[in-house]
Structure 1
Amino acid sequence: MSLKNTAERWGSVSQLLHWTIAVLILAIGTVGLVMGELPRSPKWFWVYTLHKSLGLTVLALVLVRIAWRLYAGACPPVPGTPRWQARLASLTHAAIYGLILAMPLSGWLYDSASGLRPFRWFGLAEVPKLSPPNEALAGAMHSTHELLFWVLLALVAGHAGAALYHHFIRRDATLARMLPRGWIATPTRSPPEDSA
């Protein structure tokens, strides 16, 4: 498999970054949904630190992914994809990238403005504050962080649904080419070809 993207499939670097970020976002979202219910204890601080550390990891990885995409190019839509679907996919991808950047930044700004003690990324390095304590900013960033999560969740659900639609209904290689070769078979398209 090629490291770089080709006209037929996403390269191994793009695949690795895509699925790593997806799994981390799933983990962060799960932790984020349950951590508010935890009592204030040493475990609470550990869970919050884990949530923040994973969030900053995703921020770094999405910057790497954007740089890699600029370098390696994007895999074009599969032949026969209607223009409106290709355009919608491009807009969805751009929105997802923007949200994956904005979410950790809003969380980092919330943490900074809330006046909490500095945290260490996975216990290894102290994370600098982006703002002095500011209650109004902290409240706004907390609300923004939560809103961005739900918007991202809706877009990711649509993105996954579109991949499944392409695999099971349109029966093309859209999903298969974002997975390592041989993980799933590319469906055989039945004539007549759907041009909708």
Structure 2
Amino acid sequence: MTGSYLILALGIAVLLNLGNRWLRILGQLLAAIALFFNIWSIWLAVEDGTFAAARAQAGQVLALKAMGLAGAAALLALLLLLPGQWRTATPAPGHNTRQAWGQPSRILHWASAVLMLCALPMGLFVVVLPAGAIRAEFLDGHQGVGLAVLLLLILRLGWQAVTRGPDSPNAMARLNKSALYALLAALPVSGLLLSGALHVPVLGLALPAPLGLEAARGLHQILSALFVAAFAAHASAVVWHHFGLSDRKLIRRMLR
């Protein structure tokens, strides 16, 4: 499962920043289709189908519904931005510049975003589902995607240390960016702590349990909620700049 998600994320990230408009459109349509199936799976988890028999607490169901609504908003934004891919795109630089992010940073950015949009509902499915083969599959996928996100973050920060990119447009954007980076690092680490507390192996390895189960679970849930809030703020600001302020330059620093 992890390999499939990683291939999907990297494929979408590469297609979104190619020079050929048809390939960019294909990448955005793939992202929209993947997001639609993500929303559909959340709907099934809450209302009907595969996850209907699972017992979930009210807070978990509310969290799934909130993710579904956020996914629907993201899907709408993807479709609204689709006509813009028809324009002649400015070539992306191979390295970061003070005006735009380079191709490697763009690929790592969008791949991380796709993986996180997969990891969050998968984590809730692990909580909601009863023990069994389906839950074990989601748990393996959730762990693998989390580690992939951490690896992409390390590559991303390493590349930024070598070649600096554009500055954030204001203090709030800088704070949001720092929070997202910190949470992208802390979330997988807290997931490893939770796996250790649950005595669940990761990549076949048994992990130590420095935190108790309740502390580890609470930490992972709090960090997840903080990430969702930071991610929503980031996406909302980009959409507002693009549509509300008609500022097309901001999104073009990370997207052709």
Interval of TM-score (by shorter of Structure 1 and Structure 2): 0.7 to 0.9
Which runs of 4 or more aligned residues in structure 1 lie more than 4 Å from their structure 2 counterparts after TM superposition?
none
Shift of 1:6: 1.4
> What corresponds to 1:190 in structure 2?
none
> What corresponds to 2:228 in structure 1?
153
Contact 2:197 2:212 in 1 (8 A): yes
Q: CA RMSD in A?
A: 1.6
1:177 aligns with 2:253: yes
Shift of 1:70: 1.2
Q: Percent of pairs identical after alignment? A: 32
- Secondary structure (helix, strand or coil) at the match of 1:36 reads helix
Give ranges in structure 2 of 5+ residues lacking alignment: 1-91
TM-score normalised by L of structure 2:
0.60
1:76 aligns with 2:167: yes
The structure with the greater share of residues assigned to helix is 2
Matches within 5 A, 1:55-70: 55-70=146-161
Q: How many residues align?
A: 164
> What corresponds to 2:202 in structure 1?
119
Pick the aligned partner of 1:109 from 176, 193, 199. 193
1:89 aligns with 2:199: no
- Secondary structure (helix, strand or coil) at the match of 2:180 reads helix
- Secondary structure (helix, strand or coil) at the match of 2:128 reads coil
**Partner Cα distance (2:139, 2:106) in 1:** 29
**Partner Cα distance (1:164, 1:64) in 2:** 27
Give ranges in structure 1 of 5+ residues lacking alignment: 121-125, 182-196
**Partner Cα distance (1:19, 1:37) in 2:** 28
* Code of the aligned partner of 1:149: S
Shift of 1:35: 2.3
* Code of the aligned partner of 2:173: A
Contact 2:100 2:165 in 1 (8 A): no
1:40 aligns with 2:115: no
Structure whose CA Rg is larger: 1
